[in-house]
Amino acid sequence: MEQFVVGIDWSAAGSQVSYWRPGSPEPESLSAVVGEEQYEIPAKSLEELLKKAMRLLRPVERLSQAEAVVFSVEQADEETLEQIKTAAMRAGLREERIHVQTHAESFCAYVMHQSRDIYSHQVALFSHAEGSLKGAMLILNQRRLPCLVRVEEQEDWQIPDMEELAQEERDAYFASLILRMFEQRVVSAVYLLGHGFEERWYENSLKLLCAGRRVFAGNNLFAKGACYRAAELSGEEAPTPYLYFGNDKIPCNVGICVVNGQRDGVEVLIPAGVNWYEAKAECEALLYDKPVVEIVFQPLQGESVLKESILLDGLPERPPRATRLRVEVAFTKKASCRVQIWDLGFGELFPATNLKWEEEVDV
């Protein structure tokens, strides 16, 4: 059995599935019709989409054997994650191999796996589906390692009801949107995504886009971006040196203060850039001396370090390193982290008390 990963774009505008094997130059998109480039897979539900994906993947491998499957969705939250995990596990996937990310993060993953000249400066995305057109901009801070990447979207970067306009008006509105977005920006590449761009109604706008930039058109960017991310998560491909920051990502490393020999340090439990609804970790630790556990929040972008000291009130007196603790940290929303600590005692000499301490920390 050859190893492979899968990326699935689950969208009301049309779902798509891509897969990638180690050594392949890029992900391959599955066509709903054999021998044709018909990448959209009609499905009324996620369950129906997964059944069709399993059928289309049969010549390649069973979906349940994928090392990682990343679902790309318009908006991601805890409810969406649970809905996807439930459907995917019913389809035979193991929970730890199921991942969810937004279209914005899939856009980022796709671009960052292209040649360096594509993202030498900012990269624009225009998506035109279901009658509306909207823009987004990939912005990189390449002065840092890893490179920090985010996707900017603004309310006035969209034009609703495009199909109700005459062709000349559509072209003029699009050109106006391009000028607004590109003002005082250096843009190295542009991606046009969606069926709305299949008819060439935007001749004047295209001239603006092509002025010193590379322009690409297609419909399978999100599925391929999810596939690239799946390759990284599975360990089949070395991660690219960037860190994506979206609205659903935690902006700091979360760690616990530890003593290593005679030196104090911080053991990272949750790295920055994880989706808040997936940001959870646990560990066991020996209490050094004082009945205090210190949790550290280390922002990556300039803000001061936050250190939260949790007093283990009521803990019995014991010698140093004679108290074993279980520590769990989990984000309940993007800027709120719950810390829970249990006393596990230390063998028969110091039995566990079942004491529990809990604190909610605003990050």
Amino acid 302: pLDDT: 66
At 80, list the tokens.
């969406």
Contacts of 115 (CB under 8 A, 6+ apart): none
Q: Beta partners for 282? A: 328
Which stretches in the chain have pLDDT values below 50? none
CB 235 within 8 A of CB 210: no
Amino acid 261: pLDDT: 67
**Domains of the chain with bracketed CATH:** 5-102+224-231 (3.30.420.40), 107-221 (3.30.420.10), 252-362 (2.60.34.10)
Q: For 312, which DSSP code? A: -
Taking phi over 0 as left and psi of -120 to 50 as alpha, with beta for the rest, 197 belongs to alpha
pLDDT of 141-150, one tens digit each?
Answer: 888 777 889 9
**What would the DSSP string read from start to end of 189-251?**
EEEEESGGGSS---HHHHHHHTTTSEEEEES-HHHHHHHHHHHHHHTSSPPPSEEE--TTB--
* Other beta carbons within 10 Å of 354: 9
pTM of this prediction?
Answer: 0.88
